[in-house]
Amino acid sequence: MAAPHPPFEAPEPWFSMYDRAAMPDPVAPAEDPDSEPAYMTAVRERYGLDRVTPELWREIVATYYGMVSRMDAHLGRVLAHVDDETTVTLFFADHGEYLGDHGLIEKWPTSMHSCVTRDP
């Protein structure tokens, strides 16, 4: 599994690491669909994202955070064994995720919202 990417799932102890009730509500979609890029409305309609409840968005966010924490833990295990002062470690990530912001999930081409351009 190349985490954190869909499918959003994490084994214990990471799955239960974050309190679902404490997760932030996502940024709401624009009131006027004409004020946002057309792909956003198209994606929401195509996948029926308007049916996703706030509780489900919080579940998705908490699970995603658990996936990120799992990746961090494993990277920490690797770095704990690198004690060579001449080793340079670089870590790259390619994108964040919508996670319910703007009523969307995952990432989409041409998206430049901060939730996608900031990496976890």
HEC string for the chain: CCCCCCCCCCCCCCCCCCCHHHCCCCCCCCCCHHHCCHHHHHHHHHHCHHHCCHHHHHHHHHHHHHHHHHHHHHHHHHHHCCCCCCCCCCCCCCCCCCCCHHHCCCCCCCCCCHHHHCCC
Q: Rounded mean pLDDT of 32-36?
A: 89
pLDDT at 120: 60
Tens of pLDDT, residues 3-32: 677 888 999 999 999 999 999 999 999 899
Domain residue limits, the chain: 27-117
pLDDT at 118: 78
Q: How confident is the model at residue 53 (pLDDT cuts 50, 70, 90)?
A: very high
Q: Rounded mean pLDDT of 38-43?
A: 90
pLDDT at 2: 65
Q: Rounded mean pLDDT of 48-66?
A: 95
